[in-house]
Chain A
Amino acid sequence: MQLVEALRAGDERVFEQLIRMYQGTLLRVAQMYVSSQAVAEEVVQETWLAVVNGIDRFEGRSSLKTWIFSILANRAKTRAQREGRTIPFSSLGDSEPAVESDRFDRGQWTAFPTDWPEERLLGDETLHVIESAIEGLPPTQRAVITLRDVQGWSAEDVRNALELSETNQRVLLHRARSKVRAALEEYLAEDA
């Protein structure tokens, strides 16, 4: 694989690109396991160092991405255990409904959701609202929506990287998307 060969040959630019490509995502995933941002950053740094040290031994049985994230998961879990932390990463979090129940009467919308004005959707402010909403999610929901919707990973890659069952991955994605949609709806209703 070209990327791996380039890394083994010591191509710094490739390594730099790799870091930039995965750094944010690695952090999000690390945050699922460990208690603080600082510790999450340490775990991610350790992961990159392990990647550098281990690249010669990488056999290519999985993709490079999967390999990097499995190193991360191991490091993060070890760290979490050392912190004496029970690992909540598989926890589904709260179970709020996708839409608040007072929006319905006997199962039907009391008022239909309104169409979103395209001009406002295209603005930077909208992206900030979404970013903010994602930041505010519980760590595991945040990790799933980041990997799936922000980064475009497949469901299978996410399940493997985060060690989630198919059902759990979907539930987490569902809750995350519901909350982000609600935040966007609230924002768009504001200066309507």
Chain B
Amino acid sequence: MTETVEQLSCQELVELVTDYLEGALSAEDRERFDAHIAACDGCRTYLQQITMTVALAGRLTPEQLDPAAEAALLEAFRDWRART
């Protein structure tokens, strides 16, 4: 008896990319995903684009605090320290 493994379409795959990267796919789905990626240049490029997007996002520096707001907080901290 032959087992028919349902293949993923490209359109389905792009919806599974996050689950794949999070390790949330079942072993079976991960196999199907890997098999598709190995055979499909388009989806391999797409996966690379997502991982590059994530890596680039990691290079953003956090928003700077408004100097006046920061000064107010440091003042509050000093007050607290003076009181305790």
Interface residues of A (CB under 8 A from B): 10, 12, 15-16, 19-21, 23-25, 27, 41, 45, 48-49, 52-53, 56, 97-99, 101, 104, 106-109, 112-116, 121, 126-127, 130-131, 134, 145, 149-152, 155, 166, 170, 173-174, 177-178, 180-181, 184-185
B58 touches A150 (CB 8 A): yes
How long is the Cα–Cα vector from A53 to B77 in the complex, in angstroms? Answer: 9
Please report the C-alpha to C-alpha distance between residue A99 and residue B9 in the assembled complex, in whole angstroms.
13
Interface of chain B: mostly helix, strand, loop or mixed: helix
Q: What separation, in Å, do the CA atoms of A49 and B72 have in the docked complex? A: 10
Report the Cα distance A23→B53, complex, angstroms. Answer: 23
In this complex, the member of B11, B52, B77 whose beta carbon has the largest number of chain A beta carbons within 10 angstroms is B77
Identify whether the interface residues of A are mostly helix, strand, loop, or mixed. helix
Interface string of B52-84 (1 = CB under 8 A from A): 111011111011110001101110111011001
Q: Report yes or no: B22 in contact with A170, Cβ–Cβ below 8 A.
A: yes
